[in-house]
Chain A
Amino acid sequence: MFAELQDEAFVARGRIRLFEALRRNEVAASPELQKIMSACLMCQRCSEACPSGVQFMEVLRAARERLANELGYPLFASLVLRHVVPRRKLFDFALRGASLIQRIIPGKKQGHLRHLPLFFKGGKWLPPISTKSALRRHLSPERVADAKVRVALFVGCLTNYVYPEIVDACVELLRRAEIETVIPPSQLCCGTPAVALGDIDAARKLAQRNKESFESVTCDCIVTACASCGRMLKHEYPYLLGGKGQGLGVPVYDIAEFIHAKTALEFRRLDETVTYHDPCHLRWGQGIQAEPRELLARSCQFKEIPNDMYCCGQAGTFHVFYPEVAEMIGRRKVESLTELDSREVATGCPGCILQLNDLMTKAGMRKKALHTVEVLLRAVTNKGNQA
């Protein structure tokens, strides 16, 4: 943010100072204050860089909650988060409707369709909403014979509705590692957008429902392929669910972290050159950066992006409310990618995939962003036990 605006209100120190002032009633909750607090990508780079170890996310969460309480939530978003998202069938129905409208609206570019909420703000190119969500595709998952480990997969909304192939890849990779996957069908949104908008009550409700959902299946751990869901489950759930233990009761892993540490998968090295984009919520949010790189280096011709690391600018709700800034931030990322000859950009977050593909489509680049597991699946050599 600061690199684009050169305004100290939009750095962590300024926001912390403002939150202190708010708490001491030196400043009133104002739309300007709300704008300053909401225009943060929550990339958590500041906490990583902080020489004093300040946990900025906690400050930001508290600030947004208080401002939302005093000034109200964005009406439509709040309605959706409180009434549609917690009801899986209604959510499915809404998305199917959106999918239909998306297909009717004219305009197509490299297989991408218009982004609906941003249709009027200069447009954004999206992959079509999937006709069958990941959760519906995997209603009765395959049994893996003699599986020693059983993991529950947390899918996440964007993956569920737009990128179900990521779930397919995860399930197949785990099967090859002789690990059984269960996908609790009643799982909901992780709650990240609700925290981002300051609606902590809505987030807590989602967290509780997810806890019930995952307690209804037996599993050794929970794995997710979404960087933001992973960060939420690992770091926000213990707070939202009242502290004790792990929040969800079993360990949570990112898929790359899990494959790297807990499986003996083997890969042949593909000829394609692939690069890797660090999702903020993996690198800064969960401290995972070496694992996906090592996996990619074993399975393809891996090449680093020069002058990294730039955020892609998507940042969940951020790009809906601040599309111009999101795009300015993303442009730096795209510039850093142009020098590379690799066709594919692997990453660990569906939000990044969406944003990178949009940016690269707009820039006329013939590159494609995809999930790390999709590359790994092509290269895996283990056969796995058949059911």
Chain B
Amino acid sequence: MSIDSAILAQLRRILGRENLFESMEKRIVYSTDASKAAAVLPDLIARPTSTEQIAGILKLANSAGIPVYPRGAGSGLTGGAVPVRGGIVLDFEIMNKVLGIDRENMTALVQPGVITQNLQKHVEKLGLFYPPDPASSDFCTIGGNVAENSGGLRGTKYGSTREYVMALDVVLASGEIIRIGTGAPKSVTGYDLVRLFVGSEGTLGVFTEILLRLIPLPEHVETVLAHFPQVECAAASVCMMFSRGITPRAAELMDELAVECVRQYKDSDVLPREGVFCLFEVDGPRFAAMDESERVVRICEENGATNVARATSEAEREHFWSLRRAISPALYNLGRIKLNEDICVPRSRLAEMLARINEIGERYSLRIVNFGHIGDGSIHTNVMLEHDDEALRKKGEQAVGEIFAAAVSMGGTLSAEHGIGLTKAQYLGKEVGEKEFSVMVRLKKALDPNGILNPGKFIDVFPHSQ
């Protein structure tokens, strides 16, 4: 790979000097993301402002074989934006405009750098709703969400980002600009390329405009916090809710260790010493939501909840959520390093999965904290390592490998919402078979024959060696 002075001059012409970062300082800053995965330094950081500029950059990079790494806010947890082979980081932070909201048809046309929470606030003022809500929504970008098919706290009822992407403007590795999908509510013309690109982790093409589906903003939200003696009761409650026709918009579990962490962190004697918590939310028209929340309370009680509280004010709701939010910082009391994974299993297997994780943790004598969006079967498992130590890390990774294998054996998946990227590439073979992987490779070759788009990520790593 080489960026010679001729290419540099062309890049400067395309972008203008102020939007091409070349200094050592900036190269260091953009060399990693929230995964903290180590990388070689990128050579340049390009900050395009238009589709045409991106097409120009990719055409140039493709002919010279220079790697290009699309990047939103760098908040990804699996190293999707890490420039592992040097080259150009394509930073979308200044392509951050909401281009239009169609209130009648409930759609939003946005540039990829729009911060998710900004879009949410923007449309909520108009009585509209963009449901995908990753925990990082106040800094992550829509472009990154589409590339990773991000989920979030409301996935139980509203699904992942995928359900809300209607059309995309994509620049291919060759520099060709294509428009896929449509603003029509239904469409079956040709292959569903939108679904192929959503979640492709920057390896197939670069999005430059995104048309999103919006829905009406629910009138009312009810929040319920339930305390159960054990995790099985919480899982059973979730299943019973669905069978009785209630789809909660959120169902957030905090297992025993998570509760213990928060109790220490908040120095709070209010939290009980034993048992688990589950936070439920239902939404809809006011009376319907209130009725549903009463039924949620009853279902929790039927399943052995020792204490169930309905938030009666905004302050109380905020208090319930603050317990949930405290988990992440509190975790660091248990260890300096966490191996944070986001498995997902069919709902009926939740209790079994949690028991297996427990058993694996005991066998490896590692503390594993579980929390997350159990309404859609997602569990964030955090294998805690007390210190950064080669042998300990190895042990942790083995435990993670076993957790993944268990999840897949129950019909589940390695990653519900964080993606595979760099950090999970070694495990991909546990879920994706050789033949299936080879189809992915053929697709990749067809769209990016020179392998310039986000190289070194899962698609370039053959995962069956283990």
Q: Does B169 contact A (CB under 8 A)?
A: no
Ordered nearest first, which 7 A-B pairs have the shortest CB separation? A14-B29, A51-B328, A6-B93, A9-B29, A53-B329, A21-B28, A6-B94
Kindly state the separation between the CA atoms of A52 and B96 in the bound complex, as whole angstroms: 27
User: Are the C-beta atoms of A9 and B25 separated by less than 8 Å?
Assistant: yes
Could you pull out 22 A-B pairs where Cβ atoms are within 8 angstroms?
A6-B94, A6-B96, A7-B93, A8-B29, A8-B91, A17-B28, A17-B29, A17-B31, A18-B25, A18-B29, A21-B28, A26-B28, A27-B24, A27-B25, A30-B24, A32-B25, A33-B25, A36-B25, A51-B325, A51-B329, A52-B329, A52-B332
Give the residues in chain A near B30, CB-CB below 8 Å. 8
Q: Mark B420-456, 1 if CB is under 8 A from A, else 0.
A: 0000000000000000000000000000000000000
A21 to B, closest residue via Cβ: B28
Asked if A101 is at the interface of the complex by the 8 Å CB criterion, the answer is no
Which residues of A approach B to under 8 Å, CB–CB? Answer: 6-9, 13-14, 17-18, 21, 26-28, 30, 32-33, 36, 50-53
Contact of B328 with A52 in the complex, beta carbons under 8 Å = yes
Chain B: minimal CB distance from A308 (Å): 14
Confirm or deny: B268 has a beta carbon within 8 angstroms of a beta carbon on chain A: no
- Mark contacts of B22-66 with chain A using CB atoms, 8 A cut-off: 1 yes-contact digit, 0 otherwise: 011110111110000000000000000000000000000000000
The interface residues of chain B lying within 8 Å CB-to-CB of A27 are 24-25, 28
CA distance A35 to B329 in the complex (A): 30
CB contacts (< 8 Å) of A36 on chain B: these are 25
Encoded as 1 (CB less than 8 Å from any A CB) or 0, chain B from 249 to 285 comes to 0000000000000000000000000000000000000
User: In whole angstroms, what is the CA distance A51 to B91 when docked?
Assistant: 24
Interface residues in B320-350 by Cβ distance below 8 A to A read 325, 328-329, 332
Q: How far is the CB of A104 from chain B (nearest CB, A)?
A: 41
CB-CB < 8 A to A21: which residues of B?
28
User: Is A9 a contact of B328 with CB atoms below 8 Å?
Assistant: no
| CB proximity of B125 to chain A, nearest CB, Å | 11
Over the window 234-254 of chain B, the binary record of Cβ atoms lying under 8 Å from chain A Cβ atoms (1 yes, 0 no) is: 000000000000000000000
| B contact residues around A30 at 8 Å (CB) | 24-25
Q: Determine whether the beta carbon of A8 is less than 8 Å from that of B74.
A: yes
B91-109 CB mask vs A (1 if < 8 Å, else 0) is 1011010000000000000
Q: Nearest Cβ in chain B — how far from A255, in angstroms?
A: 26
Considering the chains assembled together, what is the distance between the CA atoms of A9 and B74 in angstroms?
12
Q: Are B74 and A18 in contact (CB under 8 A)?
A: no
The docked-state distance in angstroms from the alpha carbon of A36 to that of B329 is: 27
Residues of A within 8 A of B73 (CB): 8
Which residue of chain A is the closest to B32 with respect to CB atoms? A17
Smallest beta-carbon distance B332→chain A, Å: 6
Chain A's nearest CB lies how many Å from the CB of B113?
Answer: 8
A residues less than 8 Å from B328 (CB atoms): 51-52
**Separation of A52 and B334 alpha carbons in the complex (Å):** 12
**A50 contacts which chain B residues (CB < 8 A)?**
329
Residue of B26, B113, B325, B332 with most partner-chain A CB within 10 A: B26
**How many whole Å from A284's CB to the nearest CB in chain B?**
15
* Bound complex: CA A202 to CA B399 (Å): 52
In contact, A32 and B332 (Cβ under 8 angstroms): no
B325: chain A residues at CB < 8 Å are 51
* Docked pose: A50 CA to B136 CA in angstroms: 11
**With A17-B32, A30-B25 in contact, do A53 and B332 touch (Cβ < 8 Å)?**
yes
Question: Could you list 7 further interchain pairs (A-B, Cβ under 8 angstroms) beyond the known A26-B28, A27-B24, A30-B25?
Answer: A7-B93, A8-B30, A8-B74, A18-B29, A21-B28, A32-B23, A51-B325
Instruction: Give the nearest-CB partner of B113 in chain A.
Output: A6
B-chain residues with CB within 8 Å of residue A8 when the two chains form the complex: 29-30, 73-74, 91, 93
Instruction: Name the contact of A18 in the complex, choosing from B28, B91, B93, B113 (C-beta under 8 A).
Output: B28
What is the distance, in angstroms, from A63's C-beta to the closest C-beta of chain B? 12
Q: Which residues of A contact B26 (CB under 8 A)?
A: 9
Bound complex: CA of A33 vs CA of B28, how far in Å?
11
A27 to B26 Cα, complex, angstroms: 11
Interface string of B14-26 (1 = CB under 8 A from A): 0000000001111
In the bound complex, CA of A36 to CA of B26 (Å): 10
Select from chain A the residue with minimum beta-carbon distance to B74: A8
Cα A52 to Cα B333 in complex, Å, equals 10
A30 to B23, CA, bound (A): 11
Chain A residues, Cβ within 8 Å of B24 = 27-28, 30
* A3 nearest in chain B by CB position: B115
B54 to chain A, nearest CB (A): 17
CA distance A36 to B28 in the complex (A): 13
| A17 vs B24: C-alpha distance when bound (angstroms) | 12
Contacts of A13 in B (CB 8 A): 74
Q: Given the complex of chains A and B, what is the CA–CA distance between A64 and B74 in angstroms?
A: 25
Contacts of B91 in A (CB 8 A): 8
Chain B residue at smallest Cβ distance from A30: B25
Chain B residues near A51: list those with CB within 8 A: 325, 328-329
When C-beta atoms are compared, the residue in chain B nearest to A10 turns out to be B29
Residues of A within 8 A of B332 (CB): 52-53
A32 to B26, CA, bound (A): 10
Instruction: A33 to B74: give the CA distance in the assembly, Å.
Output: 21
Residue on A nearest B29 in the bound complex, by CB = A14
Chain B proximity of A17: nearest CB distance (Å) = 6
Q: Which residues of A contact B113 (CB under 8 A)?
A: 6
- Residues of chain B contacted by A14 (CB below 8 angstroms): 29
CB distance from B151 to the nearest CB of A (A): 18
